[in-house]
Amino acid sequence: MENAAQLLEDSLLVIWNDRNAERRLQAMQNVYAEDIHFYESNQGPAIVGYEQINDVISNLQAQWPIEFQFEITRPASANHQVQHVAWNLGVTGQMPAASGMDVAIIENRKIQSLHLFLDAPKP
């Protein structure tokens, strides 16, 4: 991937949007380091590795309407080994159910750690 920020866009659009667990696992090998650490919140421990992250995605997707997709709200950007991307989650063309930003640390051309920043709900 020539564009370093492409890794983070692929994390959302290729991995987190795919409802097929086997395809997600295959895609993770191209995007994530084998021992990737995903930090869903500051209070919880890291979710580590392809299988654990895949389980998290499957569990979340089971709670969402089938039409829910992540959409990038502005292109991902990179500064050396740090990338960030802003996103919405929901039905295209409707008010998003959630929004936030992902920040990733890149090592050896793969995402080593992924940090979720969820926006506060809008009143």
Q: Which of the 8 DSSP states describes residue 13?
A: I
Per DSSP (E only), the strands in 50-81 are 69-79
Tell whether 123 is covered by a domain.
no
Q: What is the domain-level CATH number for residue 34?
A: 3.10.450.50
Residue 17 lies in a domain: yes
Tally of structural domains, the chain: 1
Q: How many CB atoms lie within 10 A of CB 53?
A: 23
CA atoms of 106 and 112, how far apart (whole Å)? 5
CB 114 within 8 A of CB 12: no
Q: Which percentage of the chain shows pLDDT scores above 90?
A: 86
pLDDT in tens, 41-88: 889 899 999 999 999 999 999 999 999 999 999 989 999 999 999 999
Question: How confident is residue 3, by pLDDT bands cut at 50, 70 and 90?
Answer: low
The reply to whether 99 falls in a domain is: yes
Q: Average of pLDDT values for 1-11?
A: 76
* Range(s) of the domain holding residue 60: 6-118
Residue 88 lies in a domain: yes
Whether 32 maps to a domain, the answer reads yes
C-alpha dihedral sign at 67, 73, 76, 82 = negative
Q: What pLDDT is stored for residue 48 in this prediction?
A: 98
